[in-house]
Chain A
Amino acid sequence: MKAIRPLCVAALAFFVVASAAKAQIPRDPTPVVAKTSPEDVANGKKLYEATCSKCHGLDGGGSDGPSLQGAPERLGDAEVGAIIRGGIPGTGMTAFGSLNVEETGQVVGYLRTLGHTADAEIAKGDIGKGKSVYGTSGCTGCHIISGEGGGAGPELTRVGAMRGPSYLRAALLTPGANLPQEAGAMERGRFTQFLFVRVVTKDGHTVDGTRVSEDSFTIVIKDAAGRFHTFKKLEVQKVEKIPGKSVMPSFKDTLSASQLDDLVAYLASLKGAQ
């Protein structure tokens, strides 16, 4: 018996190694479609709170995991559904095989209700006139729409898909007051995007810009001309973060009420046409 036992163990080890190498999780290829009836969304909410909220937050705004607000709009229902059912290798996002295609559709339907700043308000301006206002007000110097424009500020090609008229109007009047937050994994999420940063170097130079990236030792900012500046935090005099401030000017005094309406209508109409 003593002689046989190690052989059995060795044979088992071969089996284990050989089988593990082949093991794959089958992924149901059925595409997930968002289910948006009130009943479906209500059940999607329950499933979300039980299954997803521990990592992604009760409001979908991110916690240990990234923000999911706007995820179906950005990625599409089928892709979000595939991620839920198949997971993302190499991350904490494991496959949730416990949800069937219909339940996943309910969760995606619920995700579509989360975090929208697009609202029921319908833009009252004229889209065509708004496009002219956009072209003559200096916006193109800093923003890209469908490949055209400057890159100092955020791209606006799809801004209307995520931002409604109220938000857009507020952003034009008081830029920097309600900046979006990063959708990142774990503690990388929820950092304010386009945060105004003033860096004072040891020789007294001041550089203003918006934060592009930051870690515990370095910060990168982009100035109003779109140039990147990288600083070692330990090698500068001061890194001052100023929430609420923006490199973008307010259009409160430069646009008339109707021009503002038209510009808002134009921006709200931008839903991703390439």
Chain B
Amino acid sequence: MRAIKYALILFALASPLAAQTPVPYSQVVKSDSEPANWLTYGGNYYGQRFSGLKQLTPQNVAGLKMAWAYQPNRPAGNVETSPIVVDGIMYVTEPPSTVTALDAHTGNKLWTWSPILKNVVAIGLFQTNRGVAVLDHRVYIATIDAHLVALDATTGAVIWNTVVADNKMGYAITGPPLAIDGKVLIGTGGSEAAVRGFLDCYDAMTGKRLWRIWTVPLQGEPGSETWGGSVPAGGTTWNAGAYDPKLNLVYWGTGNPAPDWNGDARPGDNLYTCALLAIDPDAGKMKWYFQFSPHETHDWDASEPPILFDDTIKGKPRKLLGFANRNAFYYVLDRETGDFVAGMPYAKQTWAKGLDATGHPIVLPNSGPSPEGNLVFPSITGAINWTSNSYSPLTKLFYVDAREMGSYFVKGTSTKWEMGKFPMGAGGERALSGDDAYGAIRALDGTTGKMKWEFRLHAPSWVGTLATAGGLVFSGSDEGNFFALDAVTGKPLWDMNLGASIRSNPVTYAVDGKQYVFVTAGTTYFVFGLP
């Protein structure tokens, strides 16, 4: 083993790839100026998943061919990774919590690191991982057993390994960390295990915890009056956040209150669950919050990665935040103040009459779970789930992978829960999937949510979208089609069936001046480029 490791290091030293440039914060802030790299989970701190690369265009994308493929040795779960690419090196994750560095030009493996995992508790979530963060010479991975680990970007050696939370209680991490100036932020999953949600911030150099913000109050604390006397639980932070360096605000969504499908014991809005939190990362304080789904009982986490963008509304330049929520509404918020700007459904929903002037839902009667099962759109898995949307500052369109599926929501018989265990008799769904469901890539006007075009998919998908300056939108289908659409019209321009469900967010990058597109299907990692 030692010999192999040395061989890998020697290989890395002998290769030009070893001249790994550290990625200082000042470089990540300006990531849009170097589109050959993909430096954060969402492509930039705004989470836009927009690339300035223009080599692939509507005119030539039909010529895309596979450049290379990579298959992990023993993938133990769904592959949902979204890579980071720095100067020709790609950092991917493999389920459940492995990090692998690949030569982004050929797919050759440079190093790999896996944690030792024993008796992992994963309740209500898949044992997977969605990606890493990079800062300076370190790669950050959060593991399924709720550790945050800093690895040396050149070797994969552990620099520090910090326990974020006790996995035995149900805390588990599948989402990517967010690395900003000297800090690494990470959330956790576990709402189905009735854990108390929080967002953590660690010193990027040492792994020392700088602050923790709890997303639900303790009994007696402000906000606990919205829980009807019950013990607040849930509100986990299991997906990606975004960051505005100028406002110095981090934006992070929270998940469902616990228990899930029976809210009888927790009357009230259940703050701060199913909400977006704006946090000052220096002070570790919440500046504002916006709750999308008060007193949630459908498992519609507000965990979707937010997208920050700037545009003009009624002649006034605005700093905005777009959010396609699992509850089927698209929201536009003022990201300085948290004020509601606009909102409308982007997929079929039968639970609300609409949104009021403050963005609060006007909930319809009998739209919650019932003992017999109540048909409501969207389904438990939502009009979108963990996948990332994209936003093009060129078209000013927000590209969402909408899931058109309803469910018979069954109300649980029990309102009791025990931390670390799935609540018995909690309820659930009978999904109207198959021919009763479908998916669509939809282009929404960023400032209003009004649909400009759609491209229908056979089934609801679990694939994010990628927008490029070349005028393309890439996404995939549950049946395995990877495809490119015209960003302005939605017209399909290229497709290929990769032979297994796609469950990842595509990204694009360039090596030696050539643009590539990455996506996974099944447990294979694919990269495409022009011949």
Contacts and interface: CB of A to CB of B under 8 A. Distances in A.
Contacts of B460: 187
A53 B433 CA distance: 15
Interface in B406-437: 407, 410, 421-426, 428-431, 433-437
Contacts of A13: 113, 155-158
Interface in A46-68: 46, 49-51, 53-54, 57-59, 61-64
Contacts, number: 152
A217 B435 contact: no
B478 A188 contact: yes
B248 interface: no
B159 A63 contact: no
Interface in B171-206: 192
Contact of B1 (A18, A58, A59, A91): A18
Interface in A192-228: 192, 195, 214-218
A182 B434 contact: yes
Contact of B477 (A64, A192, A215): A215
Interface string B453-480: 0001111111000000000000001111
Given A21-B1, A58-B410, A217-B495, A89 B78 contact: no
B75 A14 contact: no
Interface in B479-505: 479-481, 483, 492, 495, 497, 501
Nearest to B405: A187
B446 to A, nearest CB: 25
Interface string A1-23: 00000000110111011111101
A87 B126 CA distance: 12
Nearest to B421: A50
- Interface size class on chain A is 35 or more
Instruction: Find the residue from B116, B380, B435 having the highest chain A CB count within 10 A.
Output: B435
Contact of B428 (A18, A49, A192): A49
Contact of A61 (B75, B117, B430): B430
A242 B462 CA distance: 27
B434 A192 contact: yes
B430 A58 contact: yes
Contacts of B434: 181-182, 189-192
A113 B394 CA distance: 56
A58 B2 CA distance: 49
B62 to A, nearest CB: 13
Nearest to B120: A94
A175 interface: no
A13 B155 CA distance: 10
A63 B409 CA distance: 12
B433 A187 contact: yes
B81 to A, nearest CB: 14
A94 B421 CA distance: 16
Contact of A216 (B74, B192, B458, B522): B458
A53 B428 contact: yes
A85 B119 CA distance: 13
A248 B127 CA distance: 44
A17 B424 contact: no
A190 B410 contact: no
A215 B458 contact: yes
Contact of A94 (B126, B461, B492): B126
B381 A64 contact: yes
B5 A216 contact: no
Contact of A217 (B157, B483, B522): B483
Given A188-B459, A215-B458, A243-B435, A14 B425 contact: no
Interface in A32-84: 46, 49-51, 53-54, 57-59, 61-64
Given A16-B114, A17-B5, A50-B421, 17 more contacts: A9-B159, A16-B158, A20-B116, A49-B426, A50-B422, A54-B192, A63-B429, A90-B76, A91-B78, A186-B462, A187-B460, A188-B478, A188-B479, A189-B434, A214-B479, A216-B457, A216-B459
